[in-house]
Structure 1
Amino acid sequence: MSLFSKIVDREIPAHIVAETTEFLAFLDIHPLTKGHLLVIPKKEVDQLFDLDDETYVGLMIFARVVAAGLRDAIPCERIGVTVIGLEVPHAHIHLIPIDTMDDMNFSRPKLKVSGEELEAIAEKIRSALS
């Protein structure tokens, strides 16, 4: 069972900002920028392009909705999107508020954000989505 499946099953806590019966969006606890989200299908599939068509399209639509709320909640030039998938064997999309190309550089040090600040950011995004 992947780390993300444990989040889906609520075995591991997460700062969840949006959820449907099929998808989940939550804050990355080691973000590149404040508001960095992970968007996942609840069904555990290792790689994005191995998802069935319906889940793949649904995930993209869900990510677009979440990105709109993220853009409203976190001031930024745009929302960057990337799929890397090397760290957790569960398909996921990174949504990252960015102002420069370097904001999406995964080789740079991650931000250190307290649990309280993560929850405040999550609440701001949830409010923008409602």
Structure 2
Amino acid sequence: MPTLFTKIINKEIPSFCIKEDERYYAFLDIRPISPGHTLVIPKIEIDCFYDLPDDYIGDLFVFAKPIVKAIEAVVDCQRVGSMIAGLEVPHAHLHLVPIITMERFSFSFATEASLDSLATMHKKICNRM
């Protein structure tokens, strides 16, 4: 059975896609820790991040780099933190989270985002890509 993320990649579930290529897909999190929170996922279904092939791990960070730069350009933050947790969806993924302090770098701050706020952030980030 396809994962939630595979359904997003296959456009069975709508998303605010930031960037896509033949191996990766990046989109805004609908329950962001902070505005601009983006998920980067490989298109292959592998549960644990460190079970990905070595080249996928390295290339995923290269794929994510311009996304991070775009987020930093449009979101008021000290930096964009990266997090690999992977407990909620059994599909390897990287969280890119704009942060001001480490105390705010926690899923306890995640809240449902409105479609309007996601659309606005999507446009801002994509315009910087």
TM-score interval, normalised by the smaller of the two chains = over 0.9
2:19 counterpart letter in structure 1: A
CA distance in 1, matches of 2:73, 2:22: 24
CA distance in 1, matches of 2:127, 2:74: 8
Say yes or no: does 1:43 pair with 2:44.
yes
Any idea what the Cα deviations from partners look like across 1:55-88, whole Å, max 9, x if unmatched?
A: 1111111112211111112121110111000000
How many pairs are equivalent?
A: 128
2:125 counterpart letter in structure 1: I
Segments of 5+ residues of structure 2 without an aligned counterpart are none
- Give the match for residue 123 of structure 1: 123
SS of 2:110 mapped into structure 1:
coil
Segments of 5+ residues of structure 1 without an aligned counterpart are none
- Give the match for residue 82 of structure 2: 81
Deviates more, 1:108-117 or 1:3-12: 108-117
Any idea what the Cα deviations from partners look like across 1:5-45, whole Å, max 9, x if unmatched?
A: 00000000001111111111101100110011100111111
CA distance in 2, matches of 1:42, 1:69: 22
Q: CA RMSD in A?
A: 1.0
Return structure 1 stretches of 4+ with deviation > 3 angstroms. none
TM-score by length of 1: 0.94
TM-score by length of 2: 0.95
Deviates more, 1:13-22 or 1:110-119: 110-119
